[in-house]
Structure 1
Amino acid sequence: MGDRLMMVGAGLSGAVLARQLAEAGHSVTVVDARDHIAGNCHTARDAQTGVMVHTYGPHIFHTDDDGVWDYVQRFATFRPYKNQVKTTVEGRVYSLPVNLHTINQFYGTALRPEEARAYVAARTADIPDPQTFEEQALAFVGPDLYAAFFEGYTRKQWGTDPSNLPASILKRLPLRFNYDDNYFFHRHQGMPEDGYTALVAAMLDHPGITVHLNTVFDPAETDQWDHVFWAGPLDGFFDYKLGRLGYRTLDFETFRADGDWQGCAVMNHPDADVPYTRISEHKHFAPWESHAGSVLYREFPRACGPDDIPYYPIRLAEEKSLLADYVALAEQASGVTFVGRLGTYRYLDMDVTIREALDLADAYVAARADGETPPRFSAAPL
């Protein structure tokens, strides 16, 4: 007879874990405090225009993990999608990530790849081991491109000077000396044809899974289950008794238009005097559909309060110190595994979230078979 399992959170982590463990013969109850499944990748049709809206901002699926790519296609048809981000700087539009077209347009040149490489290198700072975002940018693209494309956007996104942020934030952004404007470089890229909520619904559609929305789980009830998987905030499981881990949240200003308003899915706005970071036009996330009207979001990052939705973990020195204290508490807890973006206090792309959930499900099954304690975290937070 299988275990009685509690899955707290109906996002990707919870859905994948629930499906895998239900298929392994366990009985899984999934609860979510919100009135919908799919967490922050929730999608819904706009009643006025028919456009599929990414309710909590853009989500584009991309991965090099063949296993994850095969897995999601069990539950949804994925259409090809290339993420081609544009940015408006001082009244001119450029391509992102910074590529050969961006460089030539910005400097008014017609450089070939090797010429552009040397041209940019001559303008970068000699910083052998960059520690901060600013140092990494100056060593990466030099002061001109940094000031135009990165500085203002980063200040707005994180609410602090880029010199206070770690270099790792910038290290995952590409710099290209060709005309490739595909934002991602992964082999598999696409969008679920009917949206992410339909994808998650298909994962949760199993006789061994029961879903309850608008339901808050009390950690004090952990011992009433054979095991609990907690995809909520790590500090929330402990009622924030050591203080709150820092996040950035987002406010969305929705507006509608007729026709095609900006000609692309995402337009960044790094200029310091523009209060938002980007505008997303949701009809372009489903280019195989046709809609007369359009739904757009202006995106305003700010500090996350107790009643806000946490988006981006800050993970600076103060937060990492508090995180270490919460990890120590978690290691002492019994009957619970902390999973996903919030449970491990890490920024995760969707494919990594799914991979970690798949691996954790296997680890749980193996641990139970061997009479061992299941992992405390889906991945180490520190």
Structure 2
Amino acid sequence: MNILLVGAGLSGAVIGRKLAEAGHSITVVDSRAHIAGNCHTERDAQTGVMVHIYGPHIFHTDDAEVWDYVNSFETFMPYKNRVKTTSGGQVFSLPINLHTINQFYNRTMRPDEARAFIEEQADTSIAEPQNFEEQAMRFVGGALYEAFFKGYTIKQWGVSPTELPAAILKRLPVRFNYDDNYFFHRFQGMPENGYTEMVARILDHPAITVHLNTRFTRDMADDYDHVFYSGPLDGYFDYELGRLGYRTLDFERFSYEGDYQGCAVMNYGEETVPFTRITEHKHFSPWESHDGSVCYREFSRDCEPDDIPYYPIRQVKEKALLAEYVALVEQTSGVTFVGRLGTYRYLDMDVTIREALDTADAFLAKGTDLPAFATSPL
């Protein structure tokens, strides 16, 4: 069959490669001038640093098949994400761990002592946390919440933490040992030559043709047996019901001669600091050595029509509009919506690849009887 993939990011590349290997003819279109979507990387001409153009992407997974898959196209080097945060004139380690707790309270507690101490700080009157703030108050108490979560969350999401679901904070563990690895997955690493090189190798197949700087229009589908669409869900319908809400990011890029902050990610938890964090990109490739440095100050705001959407908001208003778009999708044939934008969900890279592999397998088994959503966005 002739298959059209809209988007040359991870979803489009992985699905396209698997279907090409099965004998289908694959066309990939992308509105941008490069492949790899938001995980696009390129070397800075001045410093030689590998820069994550749309902000840092760190690969972490427990899925051995996905780990083997990415390593079959690019060598992944060992990398642990050790995040720091500046608050109250001090630098602390995140996620909150035993060192953070002892430093913050100027104590030397053992794990069992710290666990009991934090329980004393917690607001135990909150039996079932209903929002982000209640979740934080119940599990770490007011002081740690104010220092590390409140200001950062307001800047990141643009709303009071009382308006955000408690589930957001469940992704942020508290550890009663000195483990400062931000993630807990078995497999963690960074591609030695960047994500764009990896995606280029995935797309490197004689049955795959890629067209960049090419904006998809629905009439293009008439020339193909099936479409896999990884662009914005509302964009497929030309936003006829309105725009789904996203947060976007602005980056203030600057260079530095030497080592600017000594780590890859420095958060700024105080609301008075306008940016959420500074990333120093040479530290994402610790096996390399560079005299110069490239850094990003990161600012979060509501996404406007011409902006790049990053984080789906998925509050009550957005979920209601999403349900309306899903109803439209159910009246549409010949297209399967995939990926972060196509299903309006926050997805880590490993989950994106897992779903892409499974979607391709389902297509090979069912053909064009594939449903519009391999995974429902509702």
With the length of structure 2 as denominator, give the TM-score of the two structures: 0.99
Unaligned runs of 5+ in 1: none
1:27 aligns with 2:25: yes
**1:47 alignment counterpart:** 45
Residue of structure 1 aligned with 2:110, choices 109, 112, 119: 112
Residue of structure 2 aligned with 1:69, choices 67, 70, 75: 67
| Alignment map for 1:69-148 (pairs within 5 Å) | 69-126=67-124, 127-148=126-147
CA distance in 1, matches of 2:112, 2:218: 58
- 8 Å CA contact 1:344–1:381 kept in 2: the answer is yes
CA distance in 1, matches of 2:49, 2:218: 38
After superposing on structure 2, the runs of 4+ consecutive aligned residues of structure 1 that deviate more than 2 Å are none
Q: Which amino acid counterpart does residue 348 of structure 1 have in structure 2?
A: L
With the length of structure 1 as denominator, give the TM-score of the two structures: 0.98
**2:335 alignment counterpart:** 336
CA distance in 1, matches of 2:349, 2:76: 14
**1:195 alignment counterpart:** 194
Q: Which amino acid counterpart does residue 38 of structure 1 have in structure 2?
A: A
**1:16 alignment counterpart:** 14
CA distance in 2, matches of 1:327, 1:125: 40
Spell out, residue by residue over 1:153-181, the C-alpha distance to the aligned partner (whole angstroms, 9 max, x if none).
00000000000001111111111000000
| Alignment map for 1:224-373 (pairs within 5 Å) | 224-368=223-367, 373=369
- 8 Å CA contact 1:344–1:378 kept in 2: the answer is no
Q: Which amino acid counterpart does residue 87 of structure 1 have in structure 2?
A: T
Residue 369 of structure 2 aligns to a residue in which SS? Answer: coil
Residue 151 of structure 2 aligns to a residue in which SS? Answer: helix
CA distance in 2, matches of 1:89, 1:378: 43
Spell out, residue by residue over 1:85-128, the C-alpha distance to the aligned partner (whole angstroms, 9 max, x if none).
00000210000000000000000000000100010011111222
Q: Which amino acid counterpart does residue 158 of structure 1 have in structure 2?
A: W
Kindly state the Cα deviation for residue 223 of structure 1 after the two structures are TM-superposed.
2.6
CA distance in 2, matches of 1:49, 1:88: 27
CA distance in 1, matches of 2:289, 2:300: 30
CA distance in 2, matches of 1:125, 1:91: 26
Report how many aligned residue pairs link the two structures. Answer: 377
CA distance in 2, matches of 1:316, 1:77: 38
CA distance in 1, matches of 2:220, 2:6: 12
CA distance in 1, matches of 2:323, 2:266: 37
**1:380 alignment counterpart:** 376
Spell out, residue by residue over 1:272-300, the C-alpha distance to the aligned partner (whole angstroms, 9 max, x if none).
11000000000000001011100000000
CA distance in 1, matches of 2:136, 2:221: 46
Q: Which amino acid counterpart does residue 202 of structure 2 have in structure 1?
A: M
Q: How well do the aligned residues superpose, as a CA RMSD in angstroms?
A: 0.7
Residue 219 of structure 2 aligns to a residue in which SS? Answer: helix
CA distance in 2, matches of 1:336, 1:286: 38
Percent identity, please: 71
CA distance in 1, matches of 2:111, 2:60: 26
CA distance in 2, matches of 1:220, 1:278: 42
Residue 321 of structure 1 aligns to a residue in which SS? Answer: helix
Q: Which amino acid counterpart does residue 56 of structure 1 have in structure 2?
A: Y
Residue 122 of structure 1 aligns to a residue in which SS? Answer: helix
Spell out, residue by residue over 1:305-330, the C-alpha distance to the aligned partner (whole angstroms, 9 max, x if none).
00000000000000000000001111
Kindly state the Cα deviation for residue 249 of structure 1 after the two structures are TM-superposed.
0.2
- 8 Å CA contact 1:223–1:335 kept in 2: the answer is no
CA distance in 2, matches of 1:7, 1:366: 18
Kindly state the Cα deviation for residue 270 of structure 1 after the two structures are TM-superposed.
1.0
- 8 Å CA contact 1:262–1:281 kept in 2: the answer is yes
